Chain A
């Protein structure tokens, strides 16, 4: 357990020293800060007559901010997982690590948990930012903070596990390509998506069951006024949704461990 913890914390530390990653985060924060201006403008123009419309507009804006941070989070989780693995291989640091009495699955799990630690920090920062923006605009976010923490974390856990699996097979760029295809594919196979050719209906059904239902795990469902009419989910419903997501992530992570067990640690 100590080895896994050491690997996880070193992975988090690697992220905090990754200039490219930090640059992306700084740019994202700048972008989010820019979005404060329309928010403050909306607040200053709020009158007794347009209060409801303005509140609706502000929440819509915050919802967009959260969607953006959610999309960026998915990208970061996948990229972080692929990069955490491939950088170790490419730089050769993995050799000195794997010469220690560390099992391959321990190495992979340590890296994965490091990614999740990083994503945990990201979720908390983005949550604080969203609440801060809502507070500035004088509106109230209706969803529970727990929903806004656990749902994205489980979604990131899925994408990080998928990325880690592909990273054991190929490089970071190809991994991100695969993640992109999967993310697109998920939207095309949901029951709400347009029907496919009858001959390919079986493929759509298969993909629907194979690909993770990350739409189910989006916190957007609980966010805006627009969707406030949705029936509030009970804790059992939340638990089932989250357990489904964690189960998917775990299975993919096990596949990644299996794949890593049989691969070489150097380029042939």
Chain B
């Protein structure tokens, strides 16, 4: 049996403010596994426990109970850390350094031989499109540039596992697409990626597995295709809908959206053929028929409910 790249078993973490006598459960009996080669999205509203979980995974925090294993080692073990690339939620840096010097600093800490250092750093700077700014002090970088530099430092030592906390935060649409493409290329290279994000549509495009957490509890976990399921509805774009047909669509639980010169009709999958025939018989033209499945956003909203609207 394959050893999970990341495994949480009944992990609980409670924040205690001893002086005020306040206790806040950040994580309660959380269990999940991510296997090598998977790209897993870690989703949840703000304050759900995502960053706490990632911090425990990296060995920054300690769990009150339960067990965590990363690449077969306990969190914080240097053998595991030498194979992990990590991008914190807010990547912090020494502002007086430039990109190359910061990467040199992290390269030295990664314990790798200095033989290929310059080439590796140059390649990475080109990959994240910072090559022309490598001599500019990082303090003068925009938020997006800092985030791209953070991604570069996470990839610096060619890790097996990438832990990315909000990797697209602060990036413009082009930057987000670059990160998405990067994650796809990492998946193709067989890397394991664990990422937290609020951008559900982007996550849906690149992830194999989803874990949704709410109020410190894992409320949904599984492979993307299992959770989203097969298409259960169909979208038909037609030139118009006669009144009597609109009433029947309503009875089937369908929905009609009118546009300037067409209407979009969404009905259950089993009504697809019947509706298309009725439209043709009534003299309407069917422009396209598109099977619809639940989106990650639908799943997220169903799972987390109104609390998720903050996300």
Beta-carbon contact of B111 and A98 below 8 Å: no
Beta-carbon contact of A264 and B61 below 8 Å: yes
The verdict on A268 contacting B16 (CB below 8 Å), with A2-B108, A3-B108 known, is yes
Partner of A98, one of B60, B91, B105: B60
State in angstroms the CA–CA spacing of A70 and B270 once bound together. 87
The answer to whether the Cβ of A237 comes within 8 Å of any Cβ in the partner chain is no
The answer to whether the Cβ of B280 comes within 8 Å of any Cβ in the partner chain is no
Partner of A96, one of B16, B59, B82, B106: B106
Partner of B109, one of A3, A17, A265: A3
Residues on A with C-beta less than 8 A from B94 are: 10, 13-14, 17, 93
List A residues 36-54 near B (Cβ within 8 Å): none
Beta-carbon contact of A101 and B153 below 8 Å: no
List A residues 1-53 near B (Cβ within 8 Å): 2-3, 6-7, 10, 13-14, 17
In this complex, the interface size class of chain A, counting residues with CB under 8 Å from chain B, is: 20 to 34
List the 9 shortest-distance A-B pairs measured between CB atoms, nearest first. Answer: A99-B86, A92-B92, A101-B82, A100-B109, A265-B60, A101-B78, A6-B108, A101-B81, A95-B88
List A residues 102-135 near B (Cβ within 8 Å): 102-104
Residues on B with C-beta less than 8 A from A14 are: 94
Beta-carbon contact of B93 and A93 below 8 Å: yes
The answer to whether the Cβ of A201 comes within 8 Å of any Cβ in the partner chain is no
The answer to whether the Cβ of B133 comes within 8 Å of any Cβ in the partner chain is no
- A-B contact list, 9 entries, CB within 8 Å: A13-B94, A17-B94, A95-B60, A95-B88, A99-B88, A99-B163, A103-B78, A266-B61, A268-B15
The answer to whether the Cβ of A91 comes within 8 Å of any Cβ in the partner chain is yes
The answer to whether the Cβ of B185 comes within 8 Å of any Cβ in the partner chain is no
Query: Which residue of the partner chain A has the closest CB to B159?
Result: A99
Please give the distance in Å from A255's CB to the nearest CB on chain B.
19
Please give the distance in Å from A95's CB to the nearest CB on chain B.
4
The answer to whether the Cβ of B90 comes within 8 Å of any Cβ in the partner chain is yes
Beta-carbon contact of B78 and A96 below 8 Å: no
The verdict on A96 contacting B91 (CB below 8 Å), with A265-B60, A268-B16 known, is yes
The answer to whether the Cβ of B32 comes within 8 Å of any Cβ in the partner chain is no
Query: Which residue of the partner chain A has the closest CB to B96?
Result: A17
Beta-carbon contact of A101 and B111 below 8 Å: yes
Known: A98-B58, A100-B106, A102-B81. 12 other contacts (CB 8 A): A17-B96, A92-B92, A93-B92, A93-B94, A95-B60, A96-B150, A98-B60, A99-B86, A101-B109, A102-B109, A264-B62, A265-B60
Residues on B with C-beta less than 8 A from A102 are: 78, 81, 109
The answer to whether the Cβ of B3 comes within 8 Å of any Cβ in the partner chain is no
Please give the distance in Å from A102's CB to the nearest CB on chain B.
6
The answer to whether the Cβ of B142 comes within 8 Å of any Cβ in the partner chain is no
State in angstroms the CA–CA spacing of A265 and B85 once bound together. 18
How many residues of chain B are within 8 Å of chain A by beta carbon?
Answer: 33
CB 8 Å contact bits of A231-256 with B (1 = contact, 0 = none)? 00000000000000000000000000
The answer to whether the Cβ of A203 comes within 8 Å of any Cβ in the partner chain is no
List B residues 141-161 near A (Cβ within 8 Å): 150, 153
Beta-carbon contact of B60 and A266 below 8 Å: yes
The answer to whether the Cβ of A97 comes within 8 Å of any Cβ in the partner chain is yes
State in angstroms the CA–CA spacing of A96 and B102 once bound together. 11
Partner of A3, one of B61, B111, B150: B111
The verdict on A99 contacting B96 (CB below 8 Å), with A92-B90, A266-B61 known, is no
Beta-carbon contact of A92 and B61 below 8 Å: no
Beta-carbon contact of B108 and A264 below 8 Å: no
The verdict on A91 contacting B92 (CB below 8 Å), with A264-B61, A265-B60 known, is yes
Please give the distance in Å from B188's CB to the nearest CB on chain A.
24
Beta-carbon contact of B90 and A99 below 8 Å: no
State in angstroms the CA–CA spacing of A10 and B96 once bound together. 11
The answer to whether the Cβ of B84 comes within 8 Å of any Cβ in the partner chain is yes
Beta-carbon contact of B78 and A98 below 8 Å: no
State in angstroms the CA–CA spacing of A66 and B150 once bound together. 46
State in angstroms the CA–CA spacing of A92 and B86 once bound together. 13
Query: Which residue of the partner chain A has the closest CB to B150?
Result: A96
Beta-carbon contact of A99 and B84 below 8 Å: yes
The answer to whether the Cβ of B110 comes within 8 Å of any Cβ in the partner chain is yes
List A residues 128-185 near B (Cβ within 8 Å): none
The answer to whether the Cβ of B220 comes within 8 Å of any Cβ in the partner chain is no
The answer to whether the Cβ of B28 comes within 8 Å of any Cβ in the partner chain is no
State in angstroms the CA–CA spacing of A266 and B165 once bound together. 15
Please give the distance in Å from B268's CB to the nearest CB on chain A.
48
Please give the distance in Å from B163's CB to the nearest CB on chain A.
8
Residues on A with C-beta less than 8 A from B58 are: 95, 98-99
List B residues 87-141 near A (Cβ within 8 Å): 88, 90-94, 96, 105-106, 108-111
Residues on A with C-beta less than 8 A from B105 are: 6, 10
State in angstroms the CA–CA spacing of A7 and B106 once bound together. 10
Beta-carbon contact of B81 and A99 below 8 Å: yes
State in angstroms the CA–CA spacing of A192 and B285 once bound together. 106
Query: Which residue of the partner chain B has the closest CB to A103?
Result: B78
State in angstroms the CA–CA spacing of A106 and B141 once bound together. 30
Residues on B with C-beta less than 8 A from A95 are: 58, 60, 86, 88, 92
Beta-carbon contact of A96 and B108 below 8 Å: no
Beta-carbon contact of B92 and A96 below 8 Å: yes
